[in-house]
Structure 1
Amino acid sequence: MSTNHDAAPADARPPPAARAKAIGGRGPGARLPRSRAREFALQALYQHLVGGNDAADIDEFTRGLAGFHKADAAHYQTLLHGCIGAAADIDALIVPLLDRQLIAISPIERATMWIGVYEFQHCPDVPWRVVLNECIELAKEFGGTDGHKYVNAMLNALAPRLRAAEVAADRARAAP
């Protein structure tokens, strides 16, 4: 995995509108390699969910997209193959929290939640708040109008279970 910990302070990152323009290298604004990896992983997972495409075919196609060279390729690969491989386990964590059938969840929201849950479970070098914020931004940039709120609620509900010590320590520091 990359040593980029995505720990840039919020004020050092471009605003969401500038970040959206930077997707795929189409505009100004600095994007962290792991943020780009998540964007490409989201697109790839969408292809898997909607088209049922094979991970290897999706991987090959995605690596040829404009701007991929700016992404953390190792993190992208980990997310794509990890999420697809653990899909049933991830869904098993998500489903009890849903207010609707899994089939009714937008593929963008579902893929974004897959990324968040997978990173909570398998990427301890990425702080839980970074995972949460990155997934909210993905849902804002690619999802429906209020999809980010749903992703936020779901991942906020799972974070204390999947990153118990880290979440508790954060909340203890924030308590008056």
Structure 2
Amino acid sequence: MDSTEGSVTPAQRHKARHFALQAIYQWQLTGYSATEIEKQFLEDQPIRGADLEYLHDLISGVINNVDEIDATFAPHLSRPLDELDQVDKAVLRVGTFELMFRQEVPYRVVINESILLAKEFAEQDSHKFVNGVLDKVVKAIK
């Protein structure tokens, strides 16, 4: 279900972020190209109801800009980037990408969505960690 820009709902965007997080997690573990990850993901996942354009933008945007994204949030971590849990790293990469490259999305929406994803997929208190890091990223970007 692809959607035109004017009729995208928050639920469709949330689903796009949900699936993008899973795709980025898979990419982190496999190292496949953005194209291959997206192709596998679209074939293997029941992604009905997601904003497919936004999903594509998130997957390709995070993978193609990962060094810049990591350099933006890494200074705000309490431990080295390579010691981060893979789910936390994926949540922070998607959230930081949106804060950097999708500035039409209000930062509060990005942070709230990232917290929801952390609550859904990550360790128990990860959402607090994600909130703290992304809050600092917002201040650093402005």
Fold-level similarity (TM above 0.5)? yes
Structural RMSD (CA): 1.5
Q: Which protein has the larger Cα radius of gyration, Structure 1 or Structure 2?
A: 1
1:98-156 Cα deviation digits (max 9, x unpaired): 11111111111111111111111111221110000000000110111111111110001
2:25 corresponds to: 46
Identity fraction in percent: 34
Matched, 1:37 2:16: yes
**2 CA distance for matches of 1:39 and 1:55?**
17
Structure 2 counterparts to residues 1-176 of structure 1, below 5 A: 2-3=5-6, 4=8, 6=10, 32-162=11-141, 164=142
1:46-76 Cα deviation digits (max 9, x unpaired): 0111121222121012112443131100000
Question: Which consecutive unaligned segments of at least 5 residues does structure 1 have?
Answer: 7-31, 165-176
Question: Which consecutive unaligned segments of at least 5 residues does structure 2 have?
Answer: none
Aligned residues: 138
What's the TM-score once normalised by structure 1's chain length?
0.73
1:79-108 Cα deviation digits (max 9, x unpaired): 000001110001111221111111111111
What's the TM-score once normalised by structure 2's chain length?
0.90
**1 CA distance for matches of 2:139 and 2:80?**
23
**2 CA distance for matches of 1:96 and 1:161?**
10
More contact order relative to length (CA 8 Å, sep ≥ 6): 2
**1 CA distance for matches of 2:101 and 2:24?**
17
